[in-house]
Amino acid sequence: NNNGTIPWVIDEWTETFSNLMASGDWTNAWQIAAELGHYVADSHQPLHLTVNYDGEDTGNDGIHWRYESKLFSYYLNSLPLPEGTGKYWSNTLDSVFGYIDDIYPYVDSILIDDDAASSLDPYYGSVYYESMWSELETLSIDVIHQAIMDLADIWVTAWENAGKPLPPEYQPRTIHVPTDFLSIQSAINAANDGDTVMVETGNYIETIDFNGKNIIVTSNFILTADTADISQTVIQGRTPLASVVAFHSNENSSATLCGFTIISQQNELDGGGISIYSASPTLSHLRITTKEETILGKPAVYGGSGGGIYLESSQSILSDITLTKNEAMSGGGVCALNSKLRMENLQVYQNFATGGGFSFLAQGSGMAFTNSSVFIKNSIIAKNTAAGAIIYGFGLYSNNSDIEMINVTITGNRFADGTEAYAIGSGGGIYMDNSSNLNVLNSILWDNATAEEIYVTNSGDSGAIAISHSDIEGGVDAGIELNSGQLFWLDGNFSADPQFTDTTSGDYHLLQNSACIDAGVQDTMITYNQNMDTLYFPVLEYSGTAPDIGALESSYPVTIFSTAEFPAGFHLAQNYPNPFNPETTIQYEVPRAVFVKLEIFNMVGQKIVTLVNEWQEPGRYSIDWDASQYSTGIYFYRLLADDYSSVKRCIFVK
């Protein structure tokens, strides 16, 4: 005991590590493995092997700290890692004494070089440490590499003695806030890929960053589907100098934020509510707004882009999100740059684009896109306002972007109060700039700030607009100002009051006598010019004889869609409910007799179950999946039929 016990401790813990692996107790096995790492590292430090460990006996006082801590703080990050494979030790105790015998002679070298370096720099400054490293670099790297390889040998030895058991796959955890951690960020910091951070109702005043972790952060909404959980689970930012939520570290679509109200301070940077840079998360069932004390609608000296959400170099999925009372110079609700986005069921209303302060130009009160490709479906852009000497796009602004809209309502977007007299505005609904392309299907553009609903600039001549089965105020003559590019005014378009239920209260359902009811089209392919160029649209769900025009299906269908008709093509629908616990329903369509396979995969691509594997007649099919035997996480389901293949994602949370 007087001379230390570390060789026997390492030997004993190696045996314990082996026994834990053999018994399947991997939780404690990992802990012992980490502890072994600590002791193996300590026993490779030469000064730990002598009673003169701090140099008191030889006049080298403080050498332990100078060598182990200070010297390596300068050079550790630049050291190379060893290459090799762990090998089996027939006798752990003898092997530990063996490497101690190899390392102990290095003590004299360290003390001698300390004397030489301190004579050059008795105050232990940079000259001292440069001298020490020049003499001890090779020795030190050798010791570190030997420690790493000896630890690998110990782990291999314990594993082989245990019978080489296979470690379990990582089982995703559910981390609860505030039960396990008081803050959401603390829970994120403790999470691993595939984990779920479940946040109870409450007001959390903090900013959060996913830090590159592909995890689910959600309120109880993911379990209850109760929108009260969204309104009662609030993340409120502390400062206007930071976004409330950040995705800045290459997060992918498995990184999910769901079921929160997000309240920003008046943002002065990009993305007051959520900022996304070089990441592609999934955002769903959110309400994003600005703190009530903030004075909206007043020109700001500072203001970034994307008051609610800012995306750059992203391929994010946004669904079921309300953005209201957010403010920015470009994209009061949403702004995207160099991105490819899919947006469904968004309500973008009462946001503000300001050209005040250092800018006279306001762009996209609701949404603004630059160098992006954007798909928007079943969404409302309404009652957004803009102020500035020049305003481009009261509803949506597009710069060199491709926009595809299906069942979108853009209405009631205006000049800010008191600014119309001095402002110049273009594009009451949509402003298309710099060779942008626009495809519009089953949509309404009505009662916006300017005479023209769609304005196309004369910058660039390669852009094109194709509009089909849509209600455009002013029609082809007065509703569109085309200064460049091409316009394809296709079948089914008209100009008539859509007869919304109550715009004052924000109810944009259609009244019973609306001309927009059953006036849409279900076609998945529309040819729009003599060159047979074709637009491709997804299969739509609807009631009545045809889809309604606008974001919201009327509550007054004429007839119910007949399920007896054969489907026009293959289709795999999104499962419902999603997220789910523990059962969900998957629906699909096959247009002809064919062999069908429906499979479920986990996040790492392993097939876990086959739900369908048989020949089926043409028709619409529905199958339930019970995931109760599986862990919380993200799964994928794939439909295969002849050459058709489609994959969709679902989220299971226990």
Query: Cβ-count burial of 354 within 10 angstroms (0-12 exposed, 13-18 middle, 19+ buried)?
Result: buried
Q: Per-residue pLDDT averaged across 540-560, rounded?
A: 66
**553 occurs within a structural domain:** no
- What pLDDT sits at residue 455? 93
| b/e 189-227 (16+ beta carbons within 10 angstroms → b) | eebebbbbbbbeeeebeebbbbeebbbbbbbbbbbeeee
- Residue 643 placed within a domain: yes
Q: Calculate the average pLDDT of the chain.
A: 87
Tell me if 578 is assigned to some domain: yes
In this model, does residue 47 exceed pLDDT 80? yes
**Average pLDDT rounded to a whole number, residues 516-526:** 77
Q: What percent of the chain has pLDDT over 70?
A: 89
Beta-sheet strand order (sheet of 583-590) = 571-572, 583-590, 619-626
Structure tokens, 154: 């110990």
**What is the per-residue pLDDT across 426-450, written as a single tens digit (0 to 9) for each?**
888 999 999 899 999 999 999 998 8
Q: Is 473 a residue whose pLDDT tops 70?
A: yes
Residues 577-616: tens digit of each pLDDT: 888 888 899 999 998 888 899 999 887 678 899 999 888 8
Stated length of the chain: 654
Note whether residue 621 is domain-resident.
yes
Each residue of 222-248: pLDDT tens digit? Answer: 888 888 999 999 999 988 888 999 999
Asked, for residue 293, whether it belongs to a domain, the answer is no
The number of distinct structural domains making up the chain is 2
Domain edge (last residue) among 99, 129, 161: 161
Does a structural domain hold residue 602? yes
Q: Which amino acid is at 538?
A: P
The CA dihedral of 491, 495, 497, 503, to the nearest 10 degrees, is 80
Q: What is the pLDDT of residue 358?
A: 35
CA distances, 379 to each of 280, 325, 413, 527 (Å): 21, 17, 14, 24
Strands 525-527 and 534-536: antiparallel
Within 13 Å, how many C-alpha atoms sit on residue 220's CB side?
A: 13
Asked whether 135 and 159 are in contact (CB, 8 A), the reply is no
Q: Note whether residue 75 is domain-resident.
A: yes
**Predicted local confidence at residue 359, as pLDDT:** 38
Confidence of residue 354 (pLDDT cuts 50, 70, 90): confident
How much is the average pLDDT of 324-345? 91
Q: Which of 9-13, 467-471, 626-630 is least confident?
A: 626-630
Map tokens 């004075």 to a residue. Answer: 295
Please tell me what DSSP assigns to residue 240: T
Residue 578, domain CATH: 2.60.40.1930
Tokens (6 digits) for 491: 């079948």
Task: From 133, 161, 189, give the residue that closes a domain.
Answer: 161
Is the pLDDT confidence value at 423 over 70?
no
| pLDDT confidence of residue 205 | 95
Most confident of 239-243, 254-258, 383-387: 254-258
**pTM, full prediction:** 0.67
196 bridge partner residues:
174, 216
Q: Per-residue DSSP letters for 341-407? A: EEEEEEEEES-EEE--TT--EEE-SSEEEES-EEEEEEEEEES-EEESSEEE-SSEEEES-EEEEEE
Residue 62's domain comprises 6-161
Range with lowest mean pLDDT among 77-91, 180-194, 354-368, 451-465:
354-368
Confidence (pLDDT) at 293: 47
* More confident site: 4 or 64: 64
161, 191, 223 — which closes off a domain? 161
Res 266: pLDDT = 66
Q: Which of 13-22, 141-150, 458-467, 570-579 has the lowest mean pLDDT?
A: 458-467
Q: Which residues contact 546 (CB under 8 A, 6 or more apart)?
A: 518, 519, 520, 521, 522
Q: Is residue 607 part of a domain?
A: yes
